[in-house]
Amino acid sequence: MRNIFLFIRRYSTFLLFILLQLFSIYLIVTYNKYHQSVFSNTANQYTGKINTQYNKIENYFNLKRTNDSLVKVNERLYNTLKQDFQLPDTASKIVVDSIRVDSLLKFRRYNYLQATVVANSVSNQNNYIAIGRGKNQQLKVGMGVIDASNGVVGIVSEVSDDFSVLISLLHKKDSRISSKLFKGGEIGTVTWNGNQPNILQLTGIPKSAKVAKGDSVVTSGYSTYFPKGIMVGIVTEVTSEKSTNNFAINIKSTADFYNLQYVYVIDNLQKAAINDLLNKAEKKSQ
């Protein structure tokens, strides 16, 4: 307290000057419309800048909540896509009016389930991804997985009660995705040679196909993992294989494996029935 009084006593003249200056400015702004307008505009400008910076900081700390809400919204949107429903073949039915058009859920083929990535690797020859969803949350082995940009990520290989492990698309040994050229429709297989993350290889495309840099590669729909038309990547390089009649094609993956945070697991509701029929057919042929 003594130091405060000493400070006031020592700088009393300067402090009085400051107070008089502030009082003068107050009088000028209050009783002069021009100065009042200038002061108001300046104050509003600086207040706006301060509020903008404050909002940026506040929005930064709310990013997680925003991302979580967007992921849930995307899950609902995925589950309303037209291609995720399939009506039965009714060509042989005589009474057309008996078709149940009001209960499309009965004929739903795919269901999308959002999950959070808890572990991911890209630098190994055989990479895996762990997600925070398991048996207790409807996951099973053999489900396909895509990222938030609708790009193929991998396939569920192991499931525990609350977590699952995916075979990443960046898996040299076991990753093989049935795919096709979006323009021409030629069917091939997407694999990874273990060299560059995010650069995949499309094999089995004949030299008669019209393929060029920039063409899209999508899932063929010839598997129970993914619906037809899910993005796999974009063609970056096309060369001719000397020993075969096929092209050697490199593609850049749609999924960004360096920045995976949220994914969507695809539940093919018809998978069990399809696999059951295929197993019966194989047994009969043996």
**Beta-carbon contacts of residue 36 (< 8 Å; ≥ 6 apart):** 29, 30
Q: Is residue 112 part of a domain?
A: no
Average pLDDT value for residue range 110-139: 90
* Helices (H), ranges, 62-161: 63-78
Q: Per the domain annotation, does 269 fall within a domain?
A: no
Which region holds residue 283: left if phi is over 0, alpha if psi is between -120 and 50, else beta?
Answer: alpha
Structure tokens at 134: 């398991």
Domain stop point among 44, 60, 76: 60
The CATH number for 203's domain is 2.40.10.350
**pLDDT (tens digit, 9 = 90+) per residue, 13-33?**
877 878 888 877 777 767 776
Axis-axis angle for helices 12-31, 2-10 (nearest 10): 70
Mean pLDDT for 37-44 is 60
Q: Which long-range contacts (CB under 8 A, 24 or more apart) does 25-30 make?
A: none
* pLDDT-based confidence at residue 43 (cuts at 50, 70, 90): low
Q: Which residue has the tokens 């993992």?
A: 225
Residue 221 is assigned to a structural domain of this protein = yes
Listed range (68-72, 119-123, 278-282) with the worst mean pLDDT: 68-72
> Is pLDDT above 60 for 86?
no
Question: Region 166-175: what's the mean pLDDT?
Answer: 92
pLDDT at residue 281, rounded to an integer = 85
In a domain, 203, yes or no: yes
Q: Is residue 224 part of a domain?
A: yes
Q: Residue 40's domain spans which residues?
A: 2-60
Q: Is 204 inside any structural domain? A: yes
Structural domains counted in the chain: 2
Per-residue confidence at 90, pLDDT binned at 50, 70, 90?
very low
Q: Is residue 83 part of a domain?
A: no
* Percentage above 70 pLDDT, the chain: 75
Structural domain includes residue 142: no
Cα 223 from Cα 220, distance rounded (Å): 8
192 touches 280 (CB < 8 A): no
Phi, psi (rounded to 5 degrees) for 262? -125, 145
What is the rounded CA–CA span in Å between residue 271 and residue 283?
18
pTM over 0.75: no
In this predicted structure, the answer to whether residue 179 has a pLDDT above a threshold of 80 is: yes
Residue 179's DSSP bridge partners are: 188, 219
The 3-class secondary structure across 248-263, one letter per residue, is EEEEEECCCCCCCCEE
